[in-house]
Amino acid sequence: MQRWLIIALCFGLLAVPVAGFAQQPENIVLNEKDTRQLSPHVWAIYGNPNIGIVVGSQGTLVVDTGLGRRNGAVVAGVAAKLRKGGKLYLATTHFHPEHVTGQSGFPPDTVVIRPGVQQRELEESGAGMIEFFRSRSDVNKELLVDAGIDKSDILFDNELTLDLGDVSVRMLWFGPAHTNGDTVFLVDPDKVLISGDVVQNKFTILPIGTRSTIKSWLAVLDRVAELKPSLILPDHSPPGDGAMIPEQRAYMVDLLQQAQAAKSQGKSAEEAARGIGADFGTKYAGWLRPGNLARAAAQAYREVQ
């Protein structure tokens, strides 16, 4: 374990970000006051979603934007106060509106980086997803009033390393998981993983990309595990350590195994979903977004023989 993390644990510093998250886990309107430092180079703005900011001596990277221009401007304002010089970079974990539509709130000289597969998914499916989010609440409608599909300045295939001076960030696309274009970010030397939706903390998973499956997500998790992060910042749940990865993997394997058993017994998809829901409701009590479970169970049933 790195010296900084040992110090943080000894003095309870890592408890501060988690406590801050617990106070506002669904805050769609981001607030500068919810900013916490997680490591020597990494800050987070807690909300829906959590925003990652990596500050180096020669550049700053923001990961995700918040929902709409107004939130993007809040994030850009926090980054401006934390910056030490150099360029401002923006990258996004996936194409959903709360992660990308704040791009218009950033300065025009911000350098935007995405994997090509994510940019294509944004262009193909982003407009429909924005309309869906607008329909969910009056707040969303207001925040997304002028939202559109934005471009990237730099596209990469599988991996890009961004040098920010005294810190670097590996941007990694390992394949479809929650969406087709999920990207994770490993910050070195801090060993912090900004995981998007790929790794969550006790959060019911839901593959929704056109190429996403539970099995493809498991393959991505196996690649992520090889990174051996000390601290993980997910999009929609509290930060945690590397144990989040095997815990989520075990949950997903259990989901597939139970779907397999139900199908082998001749149960319908609906019967399987009811049985899995009842069992998981007890076994994984307290996991966030239990409403995703019915659709996740249906997906698992389709994947098994």
Q: For residue 12, how far is the Cα from the chain centroid?
A: 25
Amino acid 27: pLDDT: 77
Q: What is the pLDDT of residue 294?
A: 94
Q: In what order do the strands lie in the sheet with 51-56?
A: 35-37, 42-45, 51-56, 59-63, 87-91, 111-115, 154-156
Contact status, residue 91 vs residue 61, Cβ threshold 8 Å: yes
Backbone φ and ψ for 235, nearest 5 degrees, come out as -75, -40
d(CA 222, CA 283): 23
* pLDDT averaged per 10 residues, the chain (length 305): 34 37 63 97 97 98 98 98 97 98 98 98 97 95 96 98 98 98 98 98 95 98 98 96 98 98 96 95 93 95 95
The CA–CA distances, whole Å, from 17 to 51, 83, 99, 105, 205 equal 13, 20, 20, 25, 23
CATH superfamily name and code, 3-242: Ribonuclease Z/Hydroxyacylglutathione hydrolase-like (3.60.15.10)
- pLDDT value of position 26: 62
pLDDT at 22: 41
Q: Which residues contact 280 (CB under 8 A, 6 or more apart)?
A: 254, 255, 293
- Do 102 and 145 touch, CB atoms closer than 8 A? no
Check residue 2 and give its pLDDT: 38
